[in-house]
Amino acid sequence: MFEAPYTYDYLARPLKLKPETAAGLPEVTDGGRTYTIHIRPGIYFADDPAFGGKKRELVAADYVYSLKRLLDPKVRASQIAEIEPYVLGAEEAAARARKANHFDYDAPIEGIRTLDRYTYQVRLKDPLYVFIYNFADCRIQCAVAREVVEKYGDDFSSHPVGTGPWRLTFWKRSSKMVFERNPNYREEHFDAQPNADDARGQEILARLKGRRMPMIDRVEISIVEETQPRWLSFLNGEMDLLWLVPEEFAYQAFPNNKLAPSLAKRGIEMQQLPALEVTYAYFNMLDPVVGGYTPEKVALRRAISLSYKVQDEISIIRKGQAIPADTPYSPGVAGYDPDFHTSANEYDLPKAKALLDMYGYLDRNHDGYREMPDGSPLTIHMWSTPAPPDPQYDELWKRSLDDIGVRLEIVKGKWPDILKAARQAKVQFWKLGGSASSPDADTWLTALYGPNREGNLAKFDLPAYNKLYEQARTMPDSPERTRIYQQMTKLVVSYVPWRVNTHRIRTSMWYPQLVGFTRSPLLSFNFWKYVDIDLGAPTVASR
Amino acid sequence: MSAMGSFRNACAYLAVLAAALACAPAAAQPQKVLRYAFEIAETNFDPTRSATSTRTS
């Protein structure tokens, strides 16, 4: 529904920024401090009573307004940390608003301004090349119209009005959503830049190039939280697409990663894609038992890391749908180098035990479990939810730590409650996954940067890492910056604030009537306008 | 496209036979609908407020 000035090319890999409502790429000047963006004239919002019966053109001021909303405390913007510390005048504006309990949208902010009707500029305090991706992040830069926000107030969040190809026409919370074409959507034609050796991409381009978008009339989304009903409704033909085949059905759906013959016979297609994602288990670096930077603390975390056999996680729990990770960032992002390997996933019990022995974690009372170097009890508290597959992880970690004589206790909680406790640094050890919000390793590395209070759940704060991170942020993607990322990775592997585990492989399946579908590595990418429904395709059950 | 064409022809043909039948273009074109499932329900459509953390177990 909403549109940022930029998006990513539908078929280019690695991901490539592409104008959405903008004319051309942003002009980046002043050594990575100033971003100037031109919006294409003649783009209109979907009709709404808030516009008083007139067509409402998208202008640069809409992007300025939308960006300012992040600083309004009443909005509770999720991505404020991407803007407030970096944009000139943003901290002051946010502070004024917090003090007055009111955000003044008419007050100018030094670093966010329009230059003319269709041009705006964002200026930063310091060079920050990865800032460019914010202009493609809907949470930061999707255009909303001030009249609409002001007319609907608190109801705005259930009353979306944007410039994009879709309008929300039906919404039953937690159950169903229907989107239909926005008749005001501009004339856009399918185009993309797949690699020459990307057979699927080339085939999609050949079939759809030049077609007016969107090609379909309507999108019906059902909310199905449980994995089994989701899987069955796809098999029954109630769905055109299964966006994510649940890992538990992997052997059934694609034994040995080949589509099951019974599904292939029905014309079902499959795509497997390494996600831009890292799974890891983090230690709370402020915790008196597992935290800290002294050698015996590092040794404890390192020993725990060495005791964990990630291949068991991959084969038993993830049904082969993951690869071991070497780095705290995934393949497919800027800064990733496939030739760079680390010992992040080393599994070596004798080494783990030797480390613990060496630093005085000994079993003095002969109960089978080691104590702290000072003789006090040692118990690791791992948090986890009661929902599958977490109990399987509990078992795997319990076995791993038993193998090296370290006692593990599981603390059960609901996921949002654990997250809340984690933010308050009350969680000792927890397994997480992180999906990329931009195609740059920075999207994860920022979560280990000391001053990043919001996103750094491990509370890792190592001066050497912080310094490298600050340096990397002033550099465009380059071999030099990749080497800095690798130095940072070595610090992560040495100090083990994160036990880096896997990158997951995601599988989508669809029926032959869905034409042109491909999975973007970016979870948030909306593909609807790029696909067609072939009404002449062989029908399945309910169609 | 060929399926669509023959459907329109069928409408024209029917219209000659029985003018009362509803063969207006809107009714004649079958809608192209994409149906699939989300795992997690949207709680709001304000892009700025969209969640930071998504569960990835």
Query: What does the H/E/C string look like for A85-146?
Result: CCECCHHHHHHHHHHHCCCCCCCCECCEEEEECCEEEEEECCCCHHHHHHHHCHHHHCCCCH
Does the beta-carbon distance from B34 to A1 stay under 8 Å? no
Residue A415's pLDDT is: 85
Whether residue A448 contacts residue A458, with contact meaning beta carbons closer than 8 Å, is answered with yes
Residue B28's pLDDT is: 61
Q: What is the pLDDT of residues A175-215, one digit of tens each?
A: 999 999 999 999 999 999 999 999 999 999 999 999 999 99
Q: Which of residues 216-255 of A touch B (CB under 8 A)?
A: 216-225, 230, 233-234, 238-244
Does the beta-carbon distance from B48 to A389 stay under 8 Å? no
Residue A321, chain B, CB below 8 Å: the answer is no
Give the number of C-alpha atoms closer than 13 A to the C-alpha of residue B19, restricted to the C-beta side. Answer: 0
pLDDT at residue B24 is higher than 80: no
Q: What is the pTM of this model?
A: 0.84
> Mean pLDDT over residues B3-24, rounded?
38
**B5–chain A nearest CA distance, Å:** 11
Residue A524's pLDDT is: 86
| b/e per residue B6-43 (b: at least 16 CB within 10 A) | eeeeebeeeeeeeeeeebeeeeeeeebbbbbbeeeebe
Tokens of A518: 């491909």
Residues of B in contact with A435 (CB under 8 A): 54, 56
**B26–chain A nearest CA distance, Å:** 12
> Mean pLDDT over residues A495-517, rounded?
96
Whether residue A14 contacts residue A334, with contact meaning beta carbons closer than 8 Å, is answered with yes
Does the beta-carbon distance from A177 to B42 stay under 8 Å? yes
Residues of B in contact with A140 (CB under 8 A): 48
Q: Provide the pairing of β-strand A407-412 with A379-384.
A: parallel
- For A188-273+507-533, the fitting CATH number among 3.40.190, 2.40.50, 1.25.10, 1.10.8 is 3.40.190
Does the beta-carbon distance from B38 to A242 stay under 8 Å? no
Residue B12's pLDDT is: 38
pLDDT at residue A409 is higher than 50: yes
Tokens of A339: 């030739």
Which residue is closest to B2 within chain A, CA to CA?
A536
Structural fold of domain A277-504: Dipeptide-binding Protein; domain 3 (3.10.105)
Between B51 and A206, name the one with better pLDDT.
Answer: A206
List the domain boundaries for chain A: 6-163, 188-273+507-533, 277-504
Does the beta-carbon distance from A159 to B4 stay under 8 Å? no
**Cβ-based burial of A506 (10 A; exposed 0-12, middle 13-18, buried ≥19):** buried
**B14–chain A nearest CA distance, Å:** 22
> Mean pLDDT over residues B30-47, rounded?
88
Whether residue A361 contacts residue A373, with contact meaning beta carbons closer than 8 Å, is answered with yes
**Which residue in the block uniquely carries the two structure tokens 């800095």?**
A484
Tokens of A206: 């050949």
The architecture CATH gives domain A6-163? Alpha-Beta Complex (3.90)
Among residues A128, A129, A91, the alpha carbon closest in space to that of A109 is found at: A91
Instruction: Please give the share of chain A, as a percent, with pLDDT higher than 90.
Output: 87
CB-defined contacts A:B, below 8 A: 135
Q: What is the pLDDT of residues A252-267, one digit of tens each?
A: 999 988 999 999 999 9
**B53–chain A nearest CA distance, Å:** 8
Residues of B in contact with A223 (CB under 8 A): 37-41
Give the number of C-alpha atoms closer than 13 A to the C-alpha of residue A182, restricted to the C-beta side. Answer: 26
CA A185 to each of CA A25, A90, A252, A495, B5: distance values in angstroms, whole numbers, following the listed order: 21, 33, 42, 52, 26
Does the beta-carbon distance from B37 to A215 stay under 8 Å? no
Instruction: Please give the share of chain A, as a percent, with pLDDT higher than 70.
Output: 99
Residue B32, chain A, CB below 8 Å: the answer is yes
Whether residue A129 contacts residue A149, with contact meaning beta carbons closer than 8 Å, is answered with no
Residue B26, chain A, CB below 8 Å: the answer is no
Does the beta-carbon distance from B47 to A536 stay under 8 Å? no
Supply the ipTM of this predicted assembly. 0.85
> Mean pLDDT over residues A414-425, rounded?
90
Residues of B in contact with A528 (CB under 8 A): 34
* Beta partners for residue A502, in sequence order: A279, A324
pLDDT bin (cut points 50, 70, 90) of residue A539 is low
pLDDT bin (cut points 50, 70, 90) of residue A540 is low
Residue B6, chain A, CB below 8 Å: the answer is no
